[in-house]
Homo-oligomer: A and B are copies of this chain.
């Protein structure tokens, strides 16, 4: 049984303001909760149905997760998902620590990606291709948004992120020495390129692309060749295609 205060607290975490105040966010549904338990995130509280608890007893016990058994109807009162018969975890957010690309490391940079579904999809793509770091403009969707967490399908546990000022970041990184690829509609054809193993790939806003503050730091404008008539590709799709081309040219 949840107390009223617990219920209100968990529901408050649907909103960014309260996530930031509390330093906590929600992870929901069987798969995502299993992944977050097995990760290095700290879980404040796990709400779980009896079934999910017993199916995952070893995992939950070995990690000493504070768990509260609830009914499906109680769970559905606090989840943001359309249906959830498994679990909701209240998880501590991580400190916003600066990240840079290590030697021969490829890092994704998001300049003002607004849609939470796109950000979640990009986390999943990064995880598929073995990219471990994501650098986001302050205007990019908040990674702790439940829609991002849900769309990432557990990949948020294997990718690190830093939110900050991209122009300031690149001014320090010295792009003379590390390539900074940027996706534009009029760049070099990715099919003909040989990418550097390490570097940064900047993907821009859904409507406006890479902004004027970041553009000067792009050392190589790149483009997915078009063979038909669609005006553009969704930013998640474009990220996947470019990363796939990067990976096949450097492996």
Contact surface of A with B, Cβ cutoff 8 Å: 121, 124-132, 153-155, 158, 191, 224-234, 236-237, 240-241, 244-245, 247-248, 251
| Contact indicator A130/B247 (Cβ below 8 Å) | no
Q: What are the 3 closest A-B residue pairs judged by CB atoms, nearest first? A: A130-B227, A130-B228, A127-B230
| Contact indicator A247/B227 (Cβ below 8 Å) | yes
* Residues in chain B near residue A155, CB distance under 8 A: 229-230
Out of B224, B227, B248, name the residue touching A191 (CB < 8 Å).
B248
Out of B224, B229, B237, B245, name the residue touching A158 (CB < 8 Å).
B229
- Most B Cβ at <10 Å: residue of A153, A226, A229: A229
Given A191-B248, A248-B191, CB of A124 within 8 Å of CB of B230:
yes
| Contact indicator A233/B130 (Cβ below 8 Å) | no
| Contact indicator B191/A129 (Cβ below 8 Å) | no
Report how far A179 CA is from B130 CA in the complex, Å.
Answer: 31
